[in-house]
Amino acid sequence: MAKGNGFAAVSGRITAVPSEVLHEEVLAPQFEAEARNLLPWYLAIEKALVLESVRLGVVEREAARRIAVLLDGIGYEHLTADPEQNTSDIAFAIELHVRAGLGKDAPAWHVDRSRNDLQACAQLMYGRDQVAAVAGQLIDLIGVVLDAASRHVDTPMPGYTHLQAAQVMTPGFYLTALVEEVLHVLRRLTASYEELDRSPLGAGAMTGQELDWDRQQLADSLGFRAPVRHALPAVASRGWALAVGGDLSLLGVTLSRFATDLMCWASGAYGFIDLPDALCGISSAMPQKRNFPVLERLRGRSAHLTGLSLDLAIGQRATPYANMVEVSKEAASHLSTLFGETRSLLRLGTTVLAGLRFLPEPMAAACAREYLGGFTLANLLTLHCGIEWRTAQIIAGRYITAAITAGLPPTEPAPELLREAANAYGQQIEGARDLLAQAFSVEQALTRKRTSGSTHPTQVRALMTEQRLEVAEQAARWLTRSLRIEQALAGLNHALGLASDAAAEAVAA
């Protein structure tokens, strides 16, 4: 390698070592991040490319095997951001490490190559791996939520609109709504994964490569479904990161809303839920308090997903449509943090929901003291007494107002007050007591709902069956994707002789 002033040049165009400030503030942190997150994928890509170089006739098979063995011997501890030796660039560091062990053999190794599609592919493989891990956690979360829901399909609790008690529902009904939302995110991630499942290798710097690289074979050897069809988007676009970021932002927003409900229901004002002591906090000054800061953590951490996703978009907007460090590295500099925050949030949320206990007695008492059957009363007045529905709504509202003023709970029907309210609008009511008993029965409130997706226990159980089937299908799909990648990478190693005794001996030597 030609040198000048102690600098092991990797290009004849630049003859100076990166400045100390550039190295410390930009290049070394980038090198560290890529070594921790992308190294396994860089090495797999190099193996795929060297195997294709054999087919192209530019590298001998024995040299390719030696290169693969040298690649297999590279660990995180073997690479250092060195301004003089590798310009603090991980791709150069890998190349120079292999070259040092290879000597003068295989001079055409790395011919017709660019870092652009190499980096884009490594990032995609990392993103693909992280998305699959998040999908697995979402599947685990759904299983925990469905287990909790199955225990409370018949347990009444108040449902709230505009922060006011509105209608009777159940924890099972509520939790299956959470499952629907998580399944929605899982479907979106599946769609985003399809974009992640295309290999950019063969795009070169931006316009393709000069040798006849088999791009489909390169894609197959790394477990991709297909190559990116156009060379320029292969290196210029990081749309997949925006798509995944959007999916995770949606997840964060959704979980924040459910966390808000849990925070309310865990408070002394409601007392609907409880958590085990291992998930609770204390007050340093008030010994009577038993706090639930873990719920605050959940809601607080969910905000990071939206903030980090927005950072991805802001970093890319208004940049030229080409390979740009601003897009490929600066804009994506917090992508690993986004994945890390998402996985931490899901782990925490799954633990909380696994330990969550709904308390039937306080929930039933809250249902009993609220006039949650007003809608039902209006329906009964129309369907059984022939009263026009808007008028029936007014009569029901006037009855509830009169009963509250009289200090009567919903469980004590006051038929004379209902008749007075009806008489004010020229209406006569027969069987007023029975109508009121039906309207404000907490037990009947659940079974009165008939439509699919309603809080009727039968409908909730039917929905849960559908959800379990869908999540099982999703789990099978994600497992299939994972196995395809594992098999492709294992096949790549086998094709390079890394599974042979000779390869093992070479590594030992």
CA dihedral 73, 79, 83, 86 (to 10 degrees): 20
Burial state string for 245-255 with b = 16 or more CB within 10 A and e = fewer than 16: bbbbbbbbebb
Residue 102: C-alpha distances to residues 64, 66, 80, 98, 99 (Å): 10, 7, 19, 6, 5
What's residue 499's pLDDT? Answer: 63
CA angle 105/107/112 to nearest 5° reads 145
Least confident among 12-16, 38-42, 151-155, 463-467: 12-16
308/489 Cα distance (integer angstroms)? 31
Residues 6+ apart with CB under 8 A from 83: 17, 18, 23, 27
Segment 373-387 mean pLDDT: 95
Segment 408-434 mean pLDDT: 94
Tell me the torsion sign for CA atoms 185, 186, 192, 196: positive
pLDDT band at 508 (very low <50, low <70, confident <90, very high): very low
Q: Are 122 and 45 in contact (CB under 8 A)?
A: yes
- Nearest to 404, CA basis, from 375, 433, 436, 371: 371
Residues 6+ apart with CB under 8 A from 225: 194, 197, 198, 219
Three-state secondary structure call for residue 244: helix
Q: Are 214 and 48 in contact (CB under 8 A)?
A: no
pLDDT in tens, 32-43: 999 999 999 999
What's residue 13's pLDDT? Answer: 81
Residues 6+ apart with CB under 8 A from 276: 355
493/271 Cα distance (integer angstroms)? 58
What's residue 4's pLDDT? Answer: 42
What's residue 8's pLDDT? Answer: 62
Residue 19: C-alpha distances to residues 32, 84, 190 (Å): 17, 10, 43
What's residue 505's pLDDT? Answer: 47
End-to-end CA distance of the chain: 25
Please report which residue ranges of 356-413 form alpha helices under DSSP H: 360-369, 374-385, 389-405
What's residue 349's pLDDT? Answer: 97
Q: Are 131 and 196 in contact (CB under 8 A)?
A: yes
Q: What percent of the chain has pLDDT over 70?
A: 96
Across the chain, mean pLDDT equals 93
Two structure tokens written together for 109: 């190794």
Residues 6+ apart with CB under 8 A from 455: 159, 167, 168, 169, 170, 173, 446, 449
What's residue 103's pLDDT? Answer: 87
Q: Are 356 and 276 in contact (CB under 8 A)?
A: no
pLDDT in tens, 267-309: 999 999 999 999 888 878 888 778 889 999 999 999 999 999 9
pLDDT in tens, 119-160: 999 999 999 999 999 999 999 999 999 999 999 999 999 999
What's residue 419's pLDDT? Answer: 96
**Please, what are the domains in the chain?**
3-111+491-508 (no CATH), 117-359 (1.20.200.10), 373-439 (1.10.40)
What's residue 15's pLDDT? Answer: 81
Least confident among 13-17, 105-109, 338-342, 407-411: 13-17
Q: Look at the pTM and tell me if it is higher than 0.75.
A: yes
Residues 6+ apart with CB under 8 A from 210: 112
Residue 288: C-alpha distances to residues 72, 284, 291 (Å): 59, 10, 10
pLDDT band at 9 (very low <50, low <70, confident <90, very high): low
Two structure tokens written together for 158: 């108040």
Q: Is the pLDDT of residue 105 over 90?
A: no
Q: Are 455 and 170 in contact (CB under 8 A)?
A: yes
Two structure tokens written together for 264: 């309310």
494/509 Cα distance (integer angstroms)? 19
Q: Are 62 and 492 in contact (CB under 8 A)?
A: no
